[in-house]
Amino acid sequence: MTNQVDTPVKRTYSEAKKVRVFDGEFMPHVDSMYNFAYRLTFDEDDAKDLVQDTYMKAFRFINSFQEGTNAKAWLYRILKNSFINDYRKKSKQPAKVDYQEVEQFYNSEDTPSTATVDLRLETTKDMIGDEISNALNSLAVDFRTVVILCDLEGFTYEEMAKILDIPIGTVRSRLHRARNLLREKLGSYAMSMGYN
Amino acid sequence: MLDNEATPNQEEFFYGHIEKCMVCFAHYNVEKQIRQLLKSKLNNKEVPNALAEEIRRKIVS
Ligand SMILES: [Zn+2]
């Protein structure tokens, strides 16, 4: 597997070129970056700060971006790293459990079973939207992230591996685990939609 | 499979299998519905108007 990210590429864009690349390749992703940031932080101000930080870093390190490669994946990687390194420490949110702990948590016997909601009682669109967003938000951050990247943003496994700095096998197992958790929470919805 | 990461051979095998196996077919349907629910029912956050402008201003200054 070739890994372009690890290959040091010496390149220097002119100042004008930097701005052109920034505007042309980075700026179109502000909206989806903001949504990703919000789904990680659950806070509008934090999401805004996180996106701004990400773009400042992207500009500062723009020489390591190869024009024509996947700018969105490159930006998502910076955002995710900023979230882990800078943001999570000073976050208003309680510290989030890491994957290892979560793994143990869900493997333990005394995990309270998740109440599934009966679709027949709540059929309005908004309720469903809320329920789905609650189910997603209730996942630990590592699981939530792979679902967002895969199902909402449509990244490939290989892109996700680069964004998250983990092997493809780990992407796959994390997704699998996340999907099982979602299925526990949303299975009744999905069933009724599939068979109605 | 649903993530478009399977080879054509794997796909052929899989779709052949779920035609005959109700368990896998049901499982496949639930998985498919969950992906569709996520895609269609999650509302996007409204992005603050000034955000793009602020970013743009900071990088040129
Ligand atoms: Zn089967």
The CATH code of the domain that includes A183 is 1.10.10.10
- B20 assigned to some structural domain: yes
Percent helix, percent strand, percent coil in chain A, to nearest 5: 70, 0, 30
- Tell me which amino acid residue A60 is: R
**How close B46 comes to chain A (CA, Å)?**
8
Q: Looking at chain A, which residue has its C-alpha nearest residue B28? A: A194
CB contact under 8 A, B59 and A56: yes
- A2 assigned to some structural domain: no
Please report the pLDDT score of residue A104 as a whole number: 39
**How close A94 comes to chain B (CA, Å)?**
22
Please report the pLDDT score of residue A177 as a whole number: 94
Tally of domains within chain A: 2
What are the two backbone dihedrals, phi and then psi, of residue A115, each rounded to the nearest 5 degrees? Answer: -70, 130
CA-CA-CA-CA torsion sign (B44, A52, A136, A178): positive
Domain enclosing residue A35, as ranges = 11-93
List chain A residues with CB under 8 Å of B58: 52, 55-56
pTM: 0.76
Please report the pLDDT score of residue B3 as a whole number: 87
Please report the pLDDT score of residue A178 as a whole number: 94
Q: Are A144 and A136 in contact (CB under 8 A)?
A: yes
Angle formed by the axes of helices A157-164 and A168-195, nearest 10°: 130
The Å distance, Cα A120 to ligand 1 centre, comes to 29
What are the two backbone dihedrals, phi and then psi, of residue A118, each rounded to the nearest 5 degrees? Answer: -80, 115
CA distance A183 to A190: 8
The Å distance, Cα B22 to ligand 1 centre, comes to 7
DSSP per-residue codes, A137-195: HTS-HHHHHHHIIIIIT---HHHHHHHHTS-HHHHHHHHHHHHHHHHHHHHHHHHHHHH
Domain enclosing residue B29, as ranges = 8-60
Regions of chain A with pLDDT less than 70: 1-10, 87-127, 189-196
Start-to-end CA distance of chain B, whole Å, equals 47
| Helix, strand or coil, per DSSP, at residue A31 | helix
CA distance B13 to A175: 22
Placement of tokens 């590592």 in the chain: A142
Residues in chain A: 196
Q: DSSP secondary-structure letter at A94?
A: P
- A113 assigned to some structural domain: no
Placement of tokens 């309270």 in the chain: A112
Please report the pLDDT score of residue A101 as a whole number: 37
Please report the pLDDT score of residue A77 as a whole number: 95
ipTM: 0.84
Categorize the per-residue pLDDT at B2 as very low, low, confident or very high, splitting at 50, 70 and 90: confident
User: Token digits for B21?
Assistant: 């196996």
Whether residue A126 sits in one domain with residue A194 = yes
CA distance A111 to A113: 6
Tally of domains within chain B: 1
- B2 assigned to some structural domain: no
- A83 assigned to some structural domain: yes
Please report the pLDDT score of residue A11 as a whole number: 72
- A143 assigned to some structural domain: yes
CA distance A21 to A192: 47
- B3 assigned to some structural domain: no
- A104 assigned to some structural domain: no
